[in-house]
């Protein structure tokens, strides 16, 4: 059980800076997901915490105690690798027992612990097998078991589900969640898959280009993305973005774009901006005064819901509708949408930062 603190942690590989400076506070028992596109430096952060990679600058502390200069094995953290990194020449039992053996636990204690963890993960029947004799899901479970056996202070996961098929991934996600509830340990989980992040996390950190974009609960990130990047990254199908012009309009503002004409009661900063709309916030309307109008391209039915792909002005958009509603629209027909006022996200055209309405309403 431990908290993890990163203060000004940075990493350069040769002349290239991968992480400029990361500050992060992870409370004890948190399931923190580090999410971001691949190559953004997530694994590097994780490996710095594990001690596999030395930080170029900054400090890592576990439970308030700096571990920056400690060797990995003195940090008491466990890591589940993307490749699982199971020792191919050891049986499942030996894999699980390896760490305990190294620290010279009594054999009886090792046996008991391995049995216990095997039980917990349903590995009982597989203990004498070699990794190559296991399926992907089983290997994944062994890799987790190997981490659990040691009762580490912190668990680190580096995209542990990415090599599995979708169905298995869903199932293991649930297992992981249950495991966290059971163990109540601090866990840092790296993934590029925002669904995993949303389903698993207590806290999400979105990373892009080595810089933290936003840190918050899944709900916060979904509802108030801090910038256009986070907005586009979290949520599926992804948010639609329209370039708009905002002008003064009496007390409020008016937002215009080809196919868009919307009055807003609040006062927003004038000038060019980007409007973000989640596909499920686009509500088809027969009202000719509805603020958005566009043309239907393709309708994609997915069981009870459907994705309607169309264009507003020249910008492609996607709307998430129920299948019943979607059926009413033919390709090339015109469609109009209503927008709930709370569903609007506005971002600065240049910096991508979230815009907010001016003070009076805030």
Partner 1 sequence: MEKRASFGRQALRQLILLIVSVIVIYPVLWVVQTAMTPAQEFRREIAVSSWSFDNFRDVVSTKDARGRWLFGRQLWNSLAVAGVTTLFGIFLALTGAYALSRFDFPGRETGLATLLVTQMFPGVVMAIPIYIILDKLKLLNSMWGLTLVYSTTAIPFCIWMLKGYIDTIPKDLEEAALLDGATRWQIFTRIALPLARPAIAVTALFSFMTAWNEFILAATFLNQETAYTLPVAIQRYVESEKTAWGHFAAAAILVSLPVVALFFALQRHLVGGLTAGSVK
Ligand X SMILES: Nc1ncnc2c1ncn2[C@@H]1O[C@H](COP(=O)(O)OP(=O)(O)O)[C@@H](O)[C@H]1O
Site string for Mg ion, 17-56 (x = CB under 5 A): --------------------------x-------------
Pairing of strands 31-35, 203-208: parallel
Can you read off the two tokens belonging to residue 282?
């686009």
Give the nearer residue to Mg ion in terms of CB position, either 127 or 190. 190
Closest distance between partner 1 and the C-beta of residue 156, in Å? 8
44 near ligand X (CB under 6 A)? yes
**Closest separation between CB of residue 325 and ligand X, Å?**
39
DSSP 291-355: SEEEEEEEEEEETTEEEEEEEETTEEEEEEEEHHHHTT--TT-EEEEEE-GGG-EEEETTT-BBP
Is there binding between residue 87 and ligand X (CB under 6 A)? no
Piece in contact with ligand X (CB under 6 A), picked from 32-40, 59-67, 181-189, 273-281: 32-40
CB of 46 to ligand X, least distance (A): 8
C-alpha to C-alpha distance for 335 and 286, rounded to whole angstroms: 8
The answer to whether the bond into 237 is cis (omega within 30° of 0) is yes
Q: How far apart, in whole angstroms, are the C-alpha atoms of residue 153 and residue 186?
A: 7
Closest CA to 279 of 235, 244, 215: 235
Q: State which residue has the least CB distance to ligand X.
A: 43
Query: What mask of x and - would describe binding to partner 1 in positions 243 to 272, judged by CB under 8 A?
Result: ------------------------------
- Provide the β-strand partners of residue 308: 299, 319
Helix, strand, coil shares of the chain as percentages rounded to 5?
30, 35, 35
The residue among 206 and 344 lying less far from Mg ion, judged by its C-beta, is: 206
Taking CB under 8 A as the binding criterion, the range among 99-107, 244-252, 288-296, 320-328 that sits at the site for partner 1 is: 99-107
d(CA 139, CA 80): 11
**Shortest CB 232 distance to partner 1, Å:** 32
* Closest C-alpha among 99, 79, 80, 76 to residue 2: 76
Q: Using the rule CB under 8 A, is 153 a contact of partner 1? A: no
- Closest to ligand X by CB, 31 vs 157, is 157
18 contacts partner 1 (rule: CB under 8 A): no
Neighbours of 83 (CB within 10 A): 12
Residues near ligand X (CB under 6 A) are: 13, 18, 36, 38-44
Residues near partner 1 (CB under 8 A) are: 50-52, 71-73, 77-79, 81, 83, 85, 87-89, 98-99, 102-103, 146, 150
């Amino acid at each position: 059980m431990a908290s993890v603190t990163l203060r000004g942690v940075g990493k350069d590989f040769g002349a290239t800076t991968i992480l400029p400076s990361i500050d992060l506070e992870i409370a004890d028992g948190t399931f923190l997901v580090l999410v971001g596109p691949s190559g953004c430096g997530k694994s590097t952060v994780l490996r710095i915490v594990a001690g596999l990679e030395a930080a170029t600058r900054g400090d890592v502390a576990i439970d308030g105690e700096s571990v920056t200069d400690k060797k990995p094995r003195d940090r008491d953290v466990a890591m589940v690798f993307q490749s699982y990194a199971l020792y191919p020449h050891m049986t499942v039992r030996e894999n699980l027992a390896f760490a305990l053996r190294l620290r010279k636990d009594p054999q009886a204690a090792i046996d008991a612990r391995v049995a216990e963890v095997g039980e917990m993960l349903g590995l009982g029947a597989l203990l004498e097998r070699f990794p190559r004799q296991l399926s992907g899901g089983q290997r994944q479970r062994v890799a987790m078991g190997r981490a659990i056996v040691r009762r580490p202070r912190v668990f680190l996961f580096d995209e542990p589900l990415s090599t599995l098929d979708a169905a298995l991934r869903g199932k293991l996600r649930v297992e992981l969640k249950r495991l966290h509830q059971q163990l109540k340990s601090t866990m840092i989980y790296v993934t590029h898959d925002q669904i995993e992040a949303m389903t698993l996390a207590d806290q999400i950190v979105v990373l892009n280009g080595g810089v933290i974009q936003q840190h918050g609960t899944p709900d916060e990130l979904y509802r108030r993305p801090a910038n256009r990047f986070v907005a586009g990254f979290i949520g599926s199908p992804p948010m639609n973005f329209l370039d708009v012009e905002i002008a003064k309009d009496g007390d409020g503002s008016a937002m215009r774009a080809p196919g868009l004409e919307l009055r807003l009661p609040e006062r927003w900063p004038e000038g060019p901006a980007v409007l973000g709309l989640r596909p499920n916030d686009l509500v088809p309307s027969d009202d000719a005064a509805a603020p958005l109008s566009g043309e239907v391209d393709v309708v994609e039915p997915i069981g009870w819901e459907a994705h309607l792909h169309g264009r507003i002005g020249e910008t492609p958009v996607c709307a998430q509708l129920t299948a019943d509603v979607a059926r009413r629209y033919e390709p090339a027909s015109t469609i109009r949408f209503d927008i709930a006022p709370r569903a609007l996200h506005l971002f600065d055209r240049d910096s991508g930062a979230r815009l907010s309405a001016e003070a009076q309403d805030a």
